[in-house]
A = this chain, B = another copy of it.
């Protein structure tokens, strides 16, 4: 019997590919936040102000650009880790390689497009891409649940 979690399984290879892409995308927002903080001189703690050469402001500064990246990041945290687990479990109910590939592909690219539309402030695109990603995850969960019910 072939192993589900093996590089010989094309569905698992597709999972690894898109899982890596969305994780790198999520981590990119960490780097983007740090870059914006340094360029703008706006930080979250007193020691950051001291280390990076600015005076500590009398009250916390709310920068719109940084807030936008942080909300985008939080939205990723709400959607990407659970996709990663849902996608892995879905592999065990023997989806066709085509079905698996399309679930992962739709999630992966819709999350990339979600980040682009979030950072450019483009609605309704952001909602559309968010919904595509959510539907992919929910679809995999329902297929998986039905197989173990």
Contact = CB atoms under 8 A, between A and B. Distances in A.
Question: What's the number of copies of this chain in the assembled complex?
Answer: 3
Contact count band on A: 35 or more
A127 to B, nearest CB: 8
Contacts of A116: none
A21 B148 CA distance: 12
Closest 4 CB pairs of A and B: A51-B123, A81-B81, A47-B121, A47-B123
Interface of A: 3-7, 12-13, 16-17, 19-21, 23-24, 26-27, 30, 44-48, 50-51, 68, 71, 73, 77-82, 84-86, 89, 92-93, 121-124, 126-127, 134, 137-138, 141, 144-145, 147-149
